[in-house]
Chain A
Amino acid sequence: MSKEKNTNTDIIEKEYSILNLGPTHPATHGIFQNVLKMDGEIIMEAESTVGYIHRAFEKIAEHRPYYQFTPITDRLNYCSSPINNMGWHMSVEKLVGIEIPKRVQYMRVIIMELARLADHIICNSVIGVDTGAMTGFLYIFQMRERIYEIYEELCGARLTTNIGRIGGLERDFSPKAWDLLDKFLKDMPPALKEFENLLMRNRIFMDRTIGCGGISAERALNYSFSGPNLRAAGVDYDVRVMNPYSSYEEFDFTIPVGTNGDTYDRFMVREEEMWQSLSIIKQAVEKIKKEPAGIYHADVPEFYLPPKEEVYNNMEALIYHFKIVMGETEIPKGEIYHAVEGGNGELGFFIISDGGRAPYRVHIRRPCFIYYQAYPEMIKGGLLSDAILTMSSMNVIAGELDA
């Protein structure tokens, strides 16, 4: 009798519980579902379900002229939409062979680095929030607001920017934009320093994040990690350095790398990248001063919309305007892959053109989609609260994940 009772308790002790983390859980910062098999607080197994905001971007791209796809790229990693926009413009420019003036390239570098700053501000401050430190988040978010004000001055939009055009930018930086940028460059370093003082050597934060959700360099490479997550694991792969685009080879900056690939390393890599981004922006501002003023697009009337007043008064401009808007511009046949260093990794656009008005096939290499599959492996054997922290430090953005 007593023996039988013992076996029963053995069975009860070995029963795991299934926990649904998500799809709409406030701590996951997006629509992700993870089915966790829990042994008390310890995660035994995890399975991720994705696709909750899938919007068929690759299919849409096959049915739209090239310039119409730009607003859709905004919705990939919406924390740094300008990088996605620029990535798409540069891919199409590579396909049709447009040479971009140096000044425009530097202006693009400024915009992309601002976007990287905004992206890293969000990610790093949210790591703070998930460890229970709300203050840093509230401080540093003012600076993100300042970046959005610059975007607003550059293109009129804030979050989903649709910034720039194929062939350049839609307008020159206004004096107010330069002014805002100057003020931002002055105010950002002390704000970032203050943010770092709150967290970087904070005992509670360090205890909470060191050793949490780590991954080795070998596994990270096998999972095709890229961006800050790969660099935190100790691999110095940065698209800006390895395959430079938009004149990044002329800039002087370092690639920070971590050692353990854990949450703390990811945080630190992003912090240092923010300093590097600030330095790149300053260098770009100096470089622009040496370039002839007033140039903000390449001279490619077949692809770049003419100014509106010319459309109404000039026959040629009217023809080009009509051809561009109706998607009648000739696009060469070809097949290209172009990658940029996005906020969270290598964002690549693979385009096959058959000469039609829309691409024959577009494939987007979305860094989150590729590295998020390592998430179950990274949280296995850890605590549930560490899993939340791991997810926020990986910078998984639902829009990019599900495309």
Chain B
Amino acid sequence: MEKDALFTAVQNKLSAQFGDGLIASEILADYPVFTVKSNQICDIVRFLYDDQELAFQYLTTLAGLHYPENKGQELGVMYQLHNLPKNLRIRLKIFFSISDPVVPSITSVFSAANWMERQEFDFFGIIFSGHPNLKRILNMDEMTYHPMRKEYALEDGTREDKDDKMFGR
């Protein structure tokens, strides 16, 4: 299946099944990308997993996103699914408010999501409801903030010898 055919197939199936659960769809580089409602993500992943034709049964990766300027939709997660026998790949995205960063966990579908979700909880403070063991994974447990959010600078803000204007972002 070519990426355009895959794009329309997934788009049709998702809008038929979930209606306005599918918010937007586009093709970015070689990936069909679908933005969906955050509270339906687990159902959608489960639906794509069970679907006979699409059968996205391999979770490539998931990653947290942070866009501070998108008010009310600051945080996000992107999921990459893969159908290995047919080599089909798609990306799903959800966005939600930073003040209520709770989204359903997909660990019930993919065991692999366990640590991936823990990592995004650790770095972005995204709370995956239904996760069996949601605690920090790479940072120390005593840490009080989520360091991958954009408001945290890389360098220690009190230092003057490292000027980010010249050498950083």
Contacts and interface: CB of A to CB of B under 8 A. Distances in A.
Given A221-B58, A370-B115, A50 B138 contact: yes
A340 to B, nearest CB: 13
B29 interface: yes
Interface residues of A, number: 42
A357 interface: yes
Contacts of B84: 221, 235, 237, 242
Contacts of B80: 337, 350
A223 interface: yes
A223 B109 CA distance: 10
B23 interface: no
B112 A58 contact: no
Contact of B111 (A222, A242, A334): A222
Contact of B60 (A58, A63, A224): A224
Contacts of A357: 169
A356 B169 contact: yes
Interface string A305-349: 000000000000000000000000000001111010000001010
Interface in A68-96: 94
B57 A58 contact: no
Nearest to B154: A63
Interface in A38-67: 50-51, 54, 56, 58-60, 62-64
Contacts of B127: none
Contact of B114 (A219, A348, A373): A373
B137 A224 contact: no
A334 B28 contact: yes
B16 interface: no
Interface in B99-140: 110-112, 114-116, 119, 123, 136-140
Contacts of B112: 222-224, 370, 373
A235 B84 CA distance: 9
Interface in B118-169: 119, 123, 136-140, 147-148, 152, 154, 164, 168-169
Nearest to B66: A361
B87 A242 contact: yes
A243 B114 contact: no
Given A63-B164, A221-B57, A350-B63, A58 B154 contact: no
A40 B125 CA distance: 40
Interface string B65-102: 11000000000001010001001000100000000000
B12 interface: no
Query: What is the size category of the interface that chain B forms with chain A?
Result: 35 or more
A374 B111 CA distance: 9
B59 A337 contact: no
A154 interface: no
A140 B59 CA distance: 36
Nearest to B87: A242
Contacts of B78: 350
A224 B147 contact: no
Nearest to B168: A63
A219 B45 CA distance: 18
Contacts of B147: 56, 59
Contacts of B123: 58
Given A221-B57, A358-B168, 9 more contacts: A54-B139, A219-B111, A224-B110, A242-B84, A337-B31, A356-B169, A361-B63, A370-B116, A373-B111
Interface of A: 50-51, 54, 56, 58-60, 62-64, 94, 219, 221-224, 235, 237, 242-243, 334-337, 339, 346, 348, 350, 352, 356-358, 361, 363, 365, 369-370, 372-374, 402-403
Interface of B: 28-31, 33, 57-61, 63, 65-66, 78, 80, 84, 87, 91, 110-112, 114-116, 119, 123, 136-140, 147-148, 152, 154, 164, 168-169
27 contacts: A50-B138, A54-B139, A56-B147, A58-B148, A63-B168, A63-B169, A222-B112, A224-B59, A224-B61, A237-B84, A334-B28, A335-B33, A336-B28, A336-B29, A337-B29, A337-B80, A337-B91, A350-B61, A350-B80, A358-B169, A361-B65, A363-B63, A365-B60, A370-B61, A373-B112, A373-B114, A373-B115
